[in-house]
Structure 1
Amino acid sequence: MRNRIMTMALLALAAIPVPAFAHPHIFAQARLEVVAGDDGNVSELRNVWRFDEVFSSSVLLDFDKNGDLKLDAKELAELGETMRTSMADYHYFATITMNGATIGVQKPDVIHASLKDNQLLVIFAVKPAKPVPLKGRLTFGIYDPTMYTAIDFPTDGDLVLKGAAFQKCQHKVVRPDPDEVISQNTSTLTDAFFNDPTGTDMTKLFATRIEVSC
């Protein structure tokens, strides 16, 4: 069981003490599609994550119940359900803000997992916890608030807006420089701030995101 928890570190990080500015131990390349519905609200965030080979190998070892060195449909389904349950406390690494206010997300119906070319591929969609109309300033991104997992978007084209409603909006991809973020927030980026029990989360300052103005 302990091995399972460690393998799913990005999913159940509460058991792992991670100091501010921790170095990432898990790496994933991501694609995010933000979809707008015909009603002018954000309908869902579609995620595709491809994990590094080291982490993918550890997942294989933990979920390969029959020892055939591959994951069959049943084992992949168990992996997906483990992720769906464990990541809930971390809002599936999704960050949505509407005019500065953070918006949560609903639990996805399913997380699809597969193992291709020795890398774990995860595909799922989450819906905002409340209506997010395309008005004012919105931001969307994927980040791990503990900084244990590094989520990377290889190109700006991996953050995508979909839906006719976005045509009235302007957008840009923001890739913060960590050194600049630290220098501009030296007085507030402390261990106490990162562990604020009220839920303040400064790690979002480091997250690659797409900003939308409508």
Structure 2
Amino acid sequence: MKHAPLLIAGAVWLSPAAAMAHPHIFAEARLEVVAGDDGTVSELRNVWRFDEMFSSSVVLDFDKNSNLKLDPDELAEVGQTVLESLEEFSYYTTITEDGKDVKVGKPDAINVDFQDGQLLMFFTLKPGQAMPLKGKLTFGVYDPTMYASMDFPADDNMVVVGDRFSACKHQVVRPDPDEVLAQNEGTLTDAFWNDPTGTDMSRLFATRLEVTC
């Protein structure tokens, strides 16, 4: 069985029973939330750098000419696979506007590179609706199945871009796992631990960018 397509393909990475409630893929991420001149959120710029083990498995499966590297056409195939596979999961991106979820549009492309033994992905998302800079807005990147761990190592890996944000306050929120568990122990059941894909509790633990305008 080919490993990389299986791993990348969202819901079919592994069965819930095999995945369990802990990650198997690790990526360092960067998110830039960009404000347009019209006073709305214009786009979200993403950069993902994957761990060396997963990156190596992708090379093994997409290196069609067996030259031990990913050529431009092979990188493009990886990007197209991810573009199609993660649409169901909104590209691991969650946006809220005053507590209500905002859908994200499909990116034009997932650009892929391979540097220093690690796979990198670059892509831009747009909110699925006009999103004025007012009220409380939140932006997060996480895998709801908990199979991939999307980590923001430093607060400056989650930033706002654009002069229109000057009238807003923003902060990176890193939930304390113990507090989350204590506040939600009534809803954390055996079903969650045995089938994490059946819930969205991982959202509570995810690092997020909060913007208040």
Q: TM-score, normalised by structure 1?
A: 0.91
1:210 and 1:112, CA in 2 relative to 1: closer, same or farther beyond 3 A? same
Cα distance, 1:188 vs structure 2: 1.3
What is the alpha-carbon distance in structure 2 between the residues aligned to residue 153 and residue 114 of structure 1?
20
Shift of 1:184: 1.0
> Matches of 2:110 and 2:5 in 1, distance apart?
18
- 2:7 matches 1:3: no
Question: 1: distance between equivalents of 2:78 and 2:12?
Answer: 19
| Residue 77 of structure 1: how far off its partner (Å) | 0.6
Name the structure 1 match of 2:57.
Answer: 58
Aligned CA RMSD, in angstroms, stands at 1.9
The CA deviation string for residues 38-60 of structure 1, in whole angstroms up to 9 with x for no partner, is 11110111000000000000000
Deviation at 1:104, TM superposition (A): 1.2
The offset of 1:2, in angstroms, is 4.7
- Superposition deviation, residue 13 in structure 1: 2.2
Which 5+ residue runs of structure 2 have no aligned equivalent?
A: none
What amino acid is aligned across from residue 38 of structure 1 in structure 2? D
Whether the 8 Å CA contact 1:7–1:62 is kept in 2: the answer is no
Matched, 1:31 2:19: no
The Cα shift of 1:21 comes to 7.0
Aligned equivalents of 1:63, 1:139: Cα separation in 2: 36
The C-alpha deviation readout for 1:38-89, integer Å capped at 9, x for no partner, is 1111011100000000000000001000000001110001111111111100
Preserved CA contact (<8 Å) 2:145 2:197:
no
Secondary structure of residue in 1 paired with 2:21: coil
Instruction: Write the letter of the residue equivalent to 1:3.
Output: H
Residue 201 (structure 1) shift: 2.7
Deviations 1:78-128 (A, max 9, x none): 111111111100000011000001111111001110110000011001101
Within 2, Cα distance between the matches of 1:101 and 1:158?
A: 24
Whole-Å Cα distance in 2 between the matches of residues 108 and 175 of structure 1?
Answer: 27
TM-score, with normalisation over the residues of structure 2?
0.92
Please say if residues 35 and 161 of structure 1, whose CA atoms lie closer than 8 Å, have aligned partners that are also in contact.
yes
| 2:16 alignment partner, SS class | coil
Note the alpha carbon deviations across 1:133-164, whole angstroms, 9 max, x for none. Answer: 11111101110001111111110000010011
The aligned amino acid for 1:5 is: P
Provide the C-alpha distance between the structure 1 equivalents of 2:46 and 2:117, rounded to a whole number of angstroms: 20
Q: Is the 8 A contact 2:145 2:196 kept in 1?
A: no
Q: 1:97-108 to 2 correspondence within 5 Å? A: 97-108=96-107
Partner secondary structure for residue 50 of structure 1: strand
Question: Aligned equivalents of 2:146 and 2:85: distance in 1?
Answer: 17
Q: 1:195 to 1:76 in 2, by over 3 A?
A: closer
Q: Hey, what's the Cα distance between the residues in 2 that align with 1:27 and 1:3?
A: 16
